[in-house]
Copies of this chain bind each other. A is one copy, B any other.
């Protein structure tokens, strides 16, 4: 697949540009309490999916990615901030394969350096020159508001045992999809795309984001720890209401249903119990159903690209959706 190699190469190029701009976002050194953890987490790797999508969205509307690098760095820094604060709330020990900030330092350091990342994200975005910043700043702010609301629902759902699939999907929309659709929309805006291009790219990002979160939920049960970068079964232990769980709850009866109930009540803690949940879910088709929903949303995302002009960036967005979602499991 010659195309595949070319796409991968271009992805790495865009990712490299993002890395360079990220290094510039944190020029400050002191106070160490604030900037050391920020550098630590920003250097923890990660696929940089959101900023690369932002750059591709700028390319697909016919503009140079140089104009969008500040915005791309902004979206990655804002996204990383959400991980830092969520990890405190979720008591997560690892992230991107390394100890979390609140584990390496402490919660106070993680709160404060997270706050600073929000400020740095806005500073970077406001450096954008190609368009007046008002609309893109409003976009970033709206994403920020919705991601907090999504996290609020996610935490509230932990305490509830009657969450519906619809409620779950609304939460995912806010918690994950909005940040990705904002990345693609801002990319198109910074590239001075037409209204219909902004709409198409926002739609693409939205479905991709939904697929992304559902896949993440699934990997918490069937994933490979070293690839996943965080511990398997973390969601289960916390009583997170994820799609595979809610899906299983709808159809499973008898003793297996009791097991699901135990998950909902946060009584599943050991590796063995997590393995039991996995086996049960596989046998009842809940995992296959989840995989199907990932596929469906990926296809919707790809279909949303329709109105865009044919070009390499468009092909790459299509390819990337498959790459991130369908082929990855």
Contacts and interface: CB of A to CB of B under 8 A. Distances in A.
Contacts of A114: 115
Chain B CB within 10 Å, residue with most, of A31, A89, A132, A151: A31
Contacts of A306: none
B34 A148 contact: yes
A238 to B, nearest CB: 12
Interface in A30-86: 30-34, 85
A216 B106 CA distance: 27
Given A89-B108, A111-B111, A152 B34 contact: yes
Contact of A112 (B107, B141, B142, B155): B155
Contacts of A31: 149, 152-153, 156
A244 to B, nearest CB: 23
A137 interface: yes
Interface stretch (A118-126, A219-227, A281-289, A307-315): A118-126
A133 interface: yes
A270 interface: no
Task: Name the interface size band of chain A.
Answer: 35 or more
Contact of A148 (B89, B116, B153): B116
- Copies of the protein in its oligomer: 2
A126 B134 contact: yes
Interface in A262-296: none
A207 interface: no
Contact of A156 (B32, B123, B155): B32
Contacts of A120: 145
Nearest to A124: B141
A148 B115 CA distance: 7
A138 interface: yes
A33 B155 contact: yes
Contacts of A148: 34, 112, 115-116, 119
Closest 5 CB pairs of A and B: A31-B152, A34-B152, A119-B144, A116-B148, A89-B108
11 contacts: A32-B156, A33-B155, A34-B148, A112-B148, A116-B145, A116-B152, A123-B138, A126-B137, A132-B132, A133-B134, A137-B137
